[in-house]
């Protein structure tokens, strides 16, 4: 009997890349994608798989019991695993309004855990973030033992969801695992996040906004490397464990912006220093030693390889970018699926 992976949030940036990775590398697996298609969900990211008999899309919300039930029904009677990406993911939006973050990231995660346990799911991978650890000074790295100290409504809601996963493991012996990754970049990222926003704006000779002094540091990882790490955790991770994922690839934001501009052959005069993000975490850096030692995972892409690849992807996908920026991508579901 073939196994099925229920992916939540598969129409978003990392979820879509993960589904493409599964389609390429796990030919025997069935894939069910449960996604509410919020502003961040774009089914055009998965249009290449629409005709595949191994892929099914379920339009539904992880906060709604009937939607989650319907998604599990779609998985059939064979063994099922879950990879949980669905979330409100943008820090700036959480600062403007935090409620949706609690509803989806916290309530939605508990809804999914309850159903997954009732359905006797074999394994559940919860995709979390390094932001749950808070902010670092100039030195040091986040390890899996670093105390959680989230600073934004987004990271607080993710930390809460991590605790609910931990409780399901501890109380119910549920086979759940958590990954905490640093900043991703690559194809299909919504152009509200730093790198795609810089590419999109600069390509049109628009200003690129840099928050504060531009010296906040992030640890950048190519999305395909993150997806491979999640797959390794799904297949070989130790039940109940947390795995940090990162690229040892730390740069201040200003350096990232300068590199993007240089690769696009655009002038640095496009840079505009703007008001800082409230509560802006200064530095993230990941110690990924545990996943490297235990599961043999390592990033395959260097920044020098993958940043140009990412820029070329956006340059070759002008229709995708245009449809995202003018909102036309939101009609795709109705046209393809007829509702």
Concerning whether 154 is annotated as a catalytic residue, the answer is: yes
Q: Do 290 and 226 touch, CB atoms closer than 8 A?
A: no
Phi-psi region of 175 (alpha: psi -120 to 50; beta: other; left: phi over 0): beta
- Interacting residue with ligand NAD among 4, 6, 7, 13 (CB under 6 A): 13
Q: Binding to ligand NAD (CB under 6 A): which residues in 255-314? A: none
Kindly state whether residue 151 participates in binding ligand NAD, applying the rule CB under 6 A.
no
- Least Cα distance to 281 among 223, 211, 329 occurs for 211
From the list ligand NAD, ligand DAU, none, pick the one residue 13 interacts with, judged by a Cβ distance below 5 to 8 Å according to partner type. Answer: ligand NAD
Kindly state whether residue 226 participates in binding ligand DAU, applying the rule CB under 6 A.
no
- Interacting residue with ligand DAU among 284, 303, 313, 329 (CB under 6 A): 284
**Among the candidate windows 83-91, 198-206, 257-265, 328-336, which touches ligand NAD by CB under 6 A?**
83-91
Concerning whether 131 is annotated as a catalytic residue, the answer is: yes
From the list ligand DAU, ligand NAD, none, pick the one residue 194 interacts with, judged by a Cβ distance below 5 to 8 Å according to partner type. Answer: ligand DAU
Kindly state whether residue 155 participates in binding ligand NAD, applying the rule CB under 6 A.
no
Q: Do 221 and 183 touch, CB atoms closer than 8 A?
A: yes
Could you tell me the smallest distance in angstroms from the CB atom of residue 127 to ligand DAU? Answer: 9
Can you give the three-state secondary structure of 68-111, one letter per residue? HHHHHHHCCCCCEEEEECCCCCCHHHHHHCCHHHHHHHHHHHHH
Kindly state whether residue 61 participates in binding ligand DAU, applying the rule CB under 6 A.
no
Kindly state whether residue 40 participates in binding ligand NAD, applying the rule CB under 6 A.
yes
Q: Do 105 and 157 touch, CB atoms closer than 8 A?
A: yes
Could you tell me the smallest distance in angstroms from the CB atom of residue 269 to ligand NAD? Answer: 28
DSSP letter at 286? B
- Interacting residue with ligand DAU among 22, 112, 197, 229 (CB under 6 A): 197
Kindly state whether residue 91 participates in binding ligand DAU, applying the rule CB under 6 A.
yes
| Crossing angle (nearest 10°) for helices 194-203 and 303-316 | 50
Kindly state whether residue 130 participates in binding ligand DAU, applying the rule CB under 6 A.
yes
Distance from C-alpha of 58 to C-alpha of 86, rounded to nearest angstrom: 13
Distance from C-alpha of 22 to C-alpha of 37, rounded to nearest angstrom: 21
Kindly state whether residue 9 participates in binding ligand NAD, applying the rule CB under 6 A.
yes
From the list ligand NAD, ligand DAU, none, pick the one residue 15 interacts with, judged by a Cβ distance below 5 to 8 Å according to partner type. Answer: ligand NAD
- Interacting residue with ligand DAU among 17, 157, 182, 249 (CB under 6 A): 182
From the list ligand NAD, ligand DAU, none, pick the one residue 209 interacts with, judged by a Cβ distance below 5 to 8 Å according to partner type. Answer: ligand DAU
Could you identify the residue written with the tokens 């795995």?
243
Q: Do 288 and 142 touch, CB atoms closer than 8 A?
A: no
DSSP 213-231: TS--EEEEEEHHHHHHHHH
Kindly state whether residue 151 participates in binding ligand DAU, applying the rule CB under 6 A.
no
Which residue's beta carbon is nearest to the bound ligand NAD?
12
Of 44, 61, 88, 130, the catalytic one is 130
Residue 49, phi then psi, degrees to nearest 5: -100, -5
CB-facing half-sphere around the CA of 288: CA atoms within 13 A: 29
In angstroms, the Cα distances linking 310 to 176, 200, 316 are 32, 12, 10
Distance from C-alpha of 176 to C-alpha of 240, rounded to nearest angstrom: 5
List the catalytic residues. 130-131, 154
Which residues of this chain interact with ligand DAU, rule CB under 6 A? 89-91, 129-131, 182-183, 193-194, 197, 209-211, 216, 218, 253, 277, 284
State the residues that interact with ligand NAD by CB under 6 A.
8-9, 11-15, 35-38, 40-41, 61-63, 85-89, 104, 108, 127, 129, 158, 181, 183-184, 190
């Amino acid at each position: 009997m073939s196994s099925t992976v229920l992916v939540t949030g598969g129409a978003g940036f990392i979820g879509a890349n993960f589904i493409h990775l599964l389609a390429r590398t796990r030919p025997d697996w069935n894939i069910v994608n449960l996604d509410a298609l919020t502003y961040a969900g774009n089914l055009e990211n998965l249009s290449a798989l629409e005709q595949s008999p191994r892929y099914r899309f379920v339009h539904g919300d992880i906060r709604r019991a009937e939607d989650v039930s319907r998604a599990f029904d779609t998985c059939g009677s064979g063994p099922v695993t879950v990879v949980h990406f669905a979330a409100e993911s943008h820090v700036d939006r959480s600062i403007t309004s935090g409620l949706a973050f609690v509803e989806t990231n916290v309530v939605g995660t508990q809804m999914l855990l309850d159903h997954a346990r009732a359905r006797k799911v074999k394994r559940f991978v919860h995709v979390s973030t390094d932001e749950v650890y808070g902010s670092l000074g100039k030195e040091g790295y986040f390890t899996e033992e670093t105390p959680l100290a989230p600073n934004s409504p987004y990271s607080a809601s993710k930390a809460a969801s991590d605790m609910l996963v931990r409780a399901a493991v501890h109380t119910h012996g549920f086979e759940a695992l958590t990954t905490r990754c640093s900043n991703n970049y690559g194809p299909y990222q919504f152009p509200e996040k730093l790198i795609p926003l810089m590419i999109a704006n600069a390509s049109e000779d628009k200003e690129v906004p840099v928050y504060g002094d531009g010296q906040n540091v992030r640890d950048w990882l190519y999305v395909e490397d993150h997806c491979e790490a999640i797959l390794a955790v799904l297949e070989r991770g130790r039940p109940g464990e947390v795995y940090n994922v990162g690229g040892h690839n730390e740069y201040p934001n200003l350096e990232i912006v300068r590199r993007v501009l240089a690769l696009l052959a655009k002038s640095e005069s496009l840079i505009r220093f703007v008001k800082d993000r409230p509560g802006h975490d200064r530095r993230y850096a990941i110690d990924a030693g545990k996943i490297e030692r235990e599961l043999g995972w390592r990033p395959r892409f260097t920044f020098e390889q993958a940043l140009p690849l990412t820029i070329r992807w956006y340059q070759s996908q002008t229709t995708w970018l245009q449809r995202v920026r003018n909102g036309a991508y939101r009609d795709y579901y109705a046209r393809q699926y007829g509702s």
